[in-house]
Amino acid sequence: MRNLIAKLALAAAVLGSGLGTAAAETANIWVRADGSNFMPRIVDAYNKGHTNQVKLDIIPNAEIIPKYGAAAAGGTAPDALSLDLIYTPSFAAAGQLEDITDWAKSLPYFASLSPAHVKTGTYKDHIYGLPFSADASVLIWNKKLFKQAGLDPEKGPANWAEIAADAEKVNALGGNIKGFYFSGNCGGCNIFTFTPLIWASGGDILSEDGSKATLDSPQLRGAIDLYRSMVKKDLVPAGAQTDTGANFFAAFAAGNIGISPSGAFAIGALNTQYPDIDYGVTFLPGKDSGWSSFAGGDNFVVTKGTTKLPVVKEFLDFAYSLEGQTILAKYGSLPVRGDIAKDALKDLDPRYQIAAEAMAKGRTPYSVVFNDLINSANGPWTQMINEVFFGDDVDGAIANAQETMQSIIDQAPQK
């Protein structure tokens, strides 16, 4: 009987008919294209085992925010969406999200959910977003090229001097082989992979609550010097200067780059699409020692006033189960529940363990104007990284970015 109802509900969902059955409800959920690998699988698994159903739409990364805003204004917003976690504060500040504090705190495993996600999901002591998918930044190196260059292929660089030295040795192989790669005109890529170098050395670019820009630090300047010196020695392909992120992953995957900062997503992508590349994964190191990571990924948020709250909660609870976390891990996201992360990852590539460890200690800057400050292709952060890595006036670029960032923060709507 239960099976029959489920089938009926499925049929109703498939036909998109407004009739439905009284017993089952269908919630609409959106995800950005980054989640197009794992999200359909987890939705399928949920739909198979539950009376209630979830209907999934996948939206291109760059369009999900304007599209959601337009849909919300027109009253056709999805019941919930998996949202790039850095947007959670600004969405919450706009009064667009349902307050889920009580429900979140009633979850028995609440304390073991990814702390960086929960921090960005919290606005003025209320919780509006909970972790859904996760990605940590790591350093990857090409073992084959390391071997050719006479380096130990099993040992990745553990501080900045080693990064520069190893990149130079690999670069010396010549031909089209280059030592190092980064996307030099991509704000999002560099907040993900460059700031951990600063954090690991004890600096930061924003104050804890996001109210002050703190760019001008010896740690930032040190990390800039590392990149500049590699650019100057020609260890980096010329295209890096204008790469807005299109080659963030592709450059390393082509097999002629020695070292590249990247993300946990690269492990799954390399294993499935480029099985010939033999690579190692390590932490993004500090100047002399230590390491850090950017905790990225998606928060799950609920549109204010939705009538499908029970379905959404049931779905999220399923995603947090061992079954759900295992599906996530298998298809390209790190687990977001610390207490069962090891179980979810146990049958997978051991390199994920490094990424999971990085995730657990990962950090995320908190700001209601993150997009304006960091991700925008024309924002102060993107402009600064391009100028300081390739330009002539490092001091001017830092001072200019510091001033612009602070003025954007100060002009943000205060509520």
Partner 1 sequence: MTSIAATTAPPRARKVAGRRQWIGLLYVAPAVALVVVFFLIPLGMTAWMSLHNWPLMGEHFYIGLGNYVAILRDTRFWNALRFTAYYTVIVTIAIFVVAFPLALFVERPRPLTNLYRTMFFMPAVVGFASASLLWSWLLNVDSGLFSPAAYDLGLIDRKFNLLATFQPAFWSIIAMVVWKVAGFTMIILMAGLQSIPQDLQEAAVIDGAGPFARFRAITLPLMRRTLALALILSVAGSILAFDQFYIILRGGPRNQTLTAVYWIFNQSFVSFKLGYGAALSMVLLVVLVALSLVQLWLLRKPEGLD
Least gap, CB of 382 to partner 1 (angstroms)? 8
Tokens (6 digits) for 322: 């061992």
Asked if 239 is part of the footprint of partner 1 (rule: CB under 8 A), the reply reads yes
CA 259 to the chain's CA centroid: 20
Asked if 407 is part of the footprint of partner 1 (rule: CB under 8 A), the reply reads no
Q: Which is nearer to partner 1, 184 or 280 (CB)?
A: 184
Asked if 237 is part of the footprint of partner 1 (rule: CB under 8 A), the reply reads yes
Least gap, CB of 67 to partner 1 (angstroms)? 10
Asked if 190 is part of the footprint of partner 1 (rule: CB under 8 A), the reply reads no
Q: Which is nearer to partner 1, 94 or 340 (CB)?
A: 94
Asked if 277 is part of the footprint of partner 1 (rule: CB under 8 A), the reply reads no
Least gap, CB of 389 to partner 1 (angstroms)? 11
Torsion of CA 221, 224, 230, 236, to 10 degrees: 180
Q: Which of 396, 377, 378 is nearest to 387 (CA)?
A: 396
Least gap, CB of 199 to partner 1 (angstroms)? 26
Query: Residue 365 gets which letter from DSSP?
Result: -
Question: Among 74, 238, 275, 276, which residue sits at the site for partner 1 (rule: CB under 8 A)?
Answer: 238
Q: How far is CA 90 from CA 202, 366, 370, 404, 413, in A?
A: 27, 10, 8, 19, 10
Torsion of CA 231, 233, 239, 244, to 10 degrees: -10
> Strand, helix or coil at 160?
helix
**DSSP for 80-96, written as a single string:** EEEEEGGGHHHHHHTT-
Least gap, CB of 412 to partner 1 (angstroms)? 10
* Burial environment of residue 313 by CB neighbours within 10 A (0 to 12, 13 to 18, 19 or more): middle
Q: Which of 317, 355, 356 is nearest to 339 (CA)?
A: 356
Q: Which of residues 69-98 bind partner 1 (CB under 8 A)?
A: 69-70, 72-73, 91, 94-96
Q: What does the buried/exposed string (b/e) look like for 339-372 if buried means 16 or more CB atoms within 10 Å of the residue's CB?
A: ebbeebbeebeebbebbbbbbbebbbbbbbbbbb
Q: Which is nearer to partner 1, 132 or 370 (CB)?
A: 370
Least gap, CB of 126 to partner 1 (angstroms)? 16
- Residue 300 contacts residue 316 (beta carbons within 8 Å): yes
Q: Which is nearer to partner 1, 353 or 376 (CB)?
A: 376
CA angle 205, 333, 320 (to 5 degrees): 105
- The angle, 0 to 180 degrees and rounded to 10, between the axes of the packed helices 160-171 and 218-232 is 10
Q: Which is nearer to partner 1, 46 or 128 (CB)?
A: 128
Least gap, CB of 405 to partner 1 (angstroms)? 14
- Residue 312 contacts residue 306 (beta carbons within 8 Å): yes
* Beta bridge mates, 122: 127
- Residue 206 contacts residue 191 (beta carbons within 8 Å): no
Asked if 229 is part of the footprint of partner 1 (rule: CB under 8 A), the reply reads no
Range in contact with partner 1 (rule: CB under 8 A) among 5-13, 63-71, 216-224, 360-368: 63-71
Asked if 353 is part of the footprint of partner 1 (rule: CB under 8 A), the reply reads no
The residue type at 95? G
Q: Which runs of E-coded beta strand occur in 196-278? A: 257-263
Least gap, CB of 52 to partner 1 (angstroms)? 27
Asked if 177 is part of the footprint of partner 1 (rule: CB under 8 A), the reply reads no
Site string for partner 1, 374-393 (x = CB under 8 A): --xxxx---x--xx--xx--
Asked if 210 is part of the footprint of partner 1 (rule: CB under 8 A), the reply reads no
Query: How many Å apart are CA 375 and CA 321, to the nearest integer?
Result: 32
Q: Which is nearer to partner 1, 350 or 413 (CB)?
A: 413
Least gap, CB of 160 to partner 1 (angstroms)? 25
Q: Which runs of E-coded beta strand occur in 98-218? A: 122-123, 126-127, 129-142, 178-180
Range in contact with partner 1 (rule: CB under 8 A) among 40-48, 67-75, 293-301, 344-352: 67-75
Range in contact with partner 1 (rule: CB under 8 A) among 47-55, 64-72, 106-114, 275-283: 64-72
Asked if 325 is part of the footprint of partner 1 (rule: CB under 8 A), the reply reads no
Asked if 271 is part of the footprint of partner 1 (rule: CB under 8 A), the reply reads no
Asked if 183 is part of the footprint of partner 1 (rule: CB under 8 A), the reply reads no
Asked if 306 is part of the footprint of partner 1 (rule: CB under 8 A), the reply reads no
Q: Using CB under 8 A as the criterion, which residues of the chain lie in contact with partner 1 when the complex forms?
A: 65-66, 68-70, 72-73, 91, 94-96, 185, 237-239, 241-242, 244, 369, 371-372, 376-379, 383, 386-387, 390-391, 413
